[in-house]
């Protein structure tokens, strides 16, 4: 057997028979861009392409690059018509007598893996699924060897635990030549070159424009660049500036959303940001400057009046000022507050308090922390099964 991958885009293929096998194959062929034509005795429901409801005629094979015979009653006549015209024919009735086989296929980015397994389709599917799982896990060596066109992918890494990264993010990391990563992005064992571009207050810090220049320079050098960020790429993460810089430079760029700490960290700590009968809204706010700071553009009076759940990021250093402002603007002093530090990491810890007591109770907590304010904190339920990050 000689495995060959065919580019059937725009090419005529014929499917004979519209039973489950014929339909499945017609769909697979249509997905790869083939010009699907079909002949079947029964009207095919939901089949892609152009179908005729009538018996097969040998002349149907004329002009087809590939024929799939799936008559359900023996494919001999179709196979003979193909052989007479030197057209490849995939028989569904008899693997041994077929000239061509459709393998079990998995795709991951620009990688295609196809499997045949001694005429045993279920065995091929099982093997294909095992490979697909490994591709999804990003553990196979899929990094490009031949130079190609460079690109940038902004990947949201989730709150920090490596297993909260998306499958797409993992795949892109496995394909990456270089990973440009933030301080709060998940710590991963990567074989690619890794460049930390932390913006830690007080420490050596990367300027945003320099980060953008780095992404563009590496992509222009033909590298696949992953810009790995904590949480989601567009939640207080300056992702749009990087997207726009790439677009202006003519560099291909894609965005892979991530689990924002604004939602994931409370959830992992057992706090739902909404709960039926408790609150109908949640608001995510950056508290990187205090309410009385002239740079603050947040309307704290409106937030206090809004009720619902408030989720504050970058606010742990301003907890006292924020709680004070909310109480001053009318939010009940006994409103429950949860401060969750290092969500999803082995060092995760949560302090539950109220608006008046939180500044004292959570005084020992530091960044990164998510602050949740609202009645939902009172319905907090500690998970009965220890989450993965707590089991490690």
Question: Which positions are catalytic?
Answer: 182, 199
- Can you tell me the distance from the alpha carbon of 270 to that of 148, in angstroms, rounded to the nearest whole number? 46
Q: Is 175 in the site for ligand SAM (CB under 6 A)?
A: no
Q: Interface residues for ligand SAM in 321-340 (CB under 6 A)?
A: 340
When binding is defined by CB under 6 A, the residue of 41, 111, 314, 378 that contacts ligand SAM is 314
Which one of 98, 151, 223, 261 is in contact with ligand SAM (CB under 6 A)?
261
CA distance linking residue 271 with residue 290, whole number of Å: 25
Instruction: Tell me how far, at minimum, the Cβ of 287 lies from ligand SAM, in Å.
Output: 8
Q: Tell me the C-alpha distance between 359 and 318, whole Å.
A: 9
Distance CA 159, CA 166 (A): 11
CA–CA separation, 69 and 22 (whole Å): 7
- Given 22, 38, 159, 270, the residue binding ligand SAM (CB under 6 A): 159
- Identify which range of 53-61, 330-338, 341-349, 374-382 contacts ligand SAM by CB under 6 A: 341-349
Write down the least CB distance from residue 226 to ligand SAM, Å. Answer: 15
- Minimum CB separation from ligand SAM for residue 258, in Å? 7
Q: Which two tokens stand for residue 136?
A: 């999804």
Q: Smallest distance from the beta carbon of 248 to ligand SAM, in angstroms?
A: 23
194 makes contact with ligand SAM (CB under 6 A): no
For ligand SAM, the closer CB: 134 or 367: 367
Nearest residue to 222 (alpha-carbon basis) of 174, 125, 151, 154: 151
Distance CA 26, CA 20 (A): 10
Query: Is residue 44 involved in binding ligand SAM (CB under 6 A)?
Result: no
Q: Does 369 bind ligand SAM (CB under 6 A)?
A: yes
Using CB under 6 A as the binding rule, whether residue 343 contacts ligand SAM is answered as: yes
For ligand SAM, the binding residue among 313, 358, 372, 377 (CB under 6 A) is 313
Q: What are the residues facing 51 on neighbouring strands?
A: 38
Task: By CB under 6 A, name the one of 260, 283, 335, 350 that touches ligand SAM.
Answer: 260
Give the residue carrying structure tokens 């206090």.
304
Q: How far is the CB of 232 from ligand SAM (least distance, A)?
A: 4
Establish if 370 lies at the interface with ligand SAM (CB under 6 A).
Answer: yes
CB of residue 365 vs ligand SAM: minimum separation in angstroms? 10
Choosing from 256, 265, 321, 326, the residue that interacts with ligand SAM (CB under 6 A) is 265
Q: Using the rule CB under 6 A, is 186 a contact of ligand SAM? A: no
Burial of 389 (0-12, 13-18, 19+ CB in 10 A): buried
Binding of ligand SAM by 160 (CB under 6 A): yes
Q: How far apart are CA 180 and CA 214, in angstroms?
A: 9
| Per-residue contact string for residues 207-246; x = within reach of ligand SAM by CB under 6 A | ----------------------xxxx--xxx---------
Among 82, 342, 372, 373, binds ligand SAM (CB under 6 A): 342
Q: Is 202 left (phi over 0), alpha (psi -120 to 50) or beta?
A: left
Among candidates 331, 288, 335, which has minimal Cα distance to 312? Answer: 288
By rule CB under 6 A, what count of residues binds ligand SAM? 25
In the complex, minimum distance from the CB of residue 165 to ligand SAM, in angstroms, rounded to a whole number = 13
**Inter-residue contact 343 to 268 (CB < 8 Å):** yes
Which residue ranges make up the site for ligand SAM (CB under 6 A)? 159-160, 184, 229-232, 235-237, 260-262, 265, 313-314, 340, 342-345, 367-370
């Amino acid at each position: 057997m000689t495995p060959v991958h065919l580019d059937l885009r725009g090419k005529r293929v014929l499917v004979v028979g519209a039973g489950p096998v014929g339909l499945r194959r017609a769909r697979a062929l249509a997905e790869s861009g083939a010009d699907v034509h079909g002949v079947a005795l029964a009207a095919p429901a939901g089949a892609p392409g152009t179908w005729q409801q009538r018996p097969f005629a040998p002349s149907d094979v004329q002009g087809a690059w590939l024929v799939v015979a799936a008559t359900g009653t023996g494919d001999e006549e179709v196979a003979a018509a193909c052989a007479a015209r030197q057209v490849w024919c995939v028989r569904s009735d008899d693997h041994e007598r077929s000239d061509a086989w459709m393998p079990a296929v998995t795709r991951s980015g620009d990688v295609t893996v196809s499997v045949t397994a001694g005429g045993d389709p279920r065995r091929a599917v099982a093997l294909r699924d095992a490979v697909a799982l490994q591709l999804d896990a990003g553990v196979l060596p899929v990094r490009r060897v031949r130079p190609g066109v460079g690109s940038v992918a902004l990947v949201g890494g989730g709150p920090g635990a490596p297993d909260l990264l998306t499958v797409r993010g993992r795949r892109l990391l496995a394909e990456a030549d270089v990973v440009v990563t933030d301080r709060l992005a998940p710590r991963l064992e990567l074989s690619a070159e890794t460049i930390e571009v932390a913006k830690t207050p007080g420490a050596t810090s990367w300027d945003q424009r320099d980060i953008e220049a780095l992404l563009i320079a590496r992509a222009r050098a033909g590298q696949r660049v992953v810009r790995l960020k904590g949480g989601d790429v567009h939640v207080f993460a300056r992702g749009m500036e990087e997207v726009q810089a790439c677009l202006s430079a003519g560099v291909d760029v894609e965005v892979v959303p991530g689990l924002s700490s604004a939602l994931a960290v409370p959830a992992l700590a057992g706090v739902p940001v909404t709960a039926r009968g408790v609150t109908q809204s949640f608001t995510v706010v950056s508290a990187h400057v205090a309410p009385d700071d002239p740079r603050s553009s947040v309307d704290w009076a409106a937030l206090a009046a809004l009720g619902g759940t408030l989720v504050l990021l970058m606010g742990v250093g301003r907890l006292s000022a924020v709680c004070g402002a909310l109480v001053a603007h009318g939010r009940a002093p006994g409103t429950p507050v949860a401060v969750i530090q290092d969500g999803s990491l082995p060092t995760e810890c949560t302090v539950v308090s109220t608006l008046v007591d939180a500044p004292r109770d959570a005084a020992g907590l530091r960044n990164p922390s998510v602050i949740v304010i609202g009645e939902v904190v009172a319905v907090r339920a500690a998970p009965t099964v220890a989450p993965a990050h707590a089991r490690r």
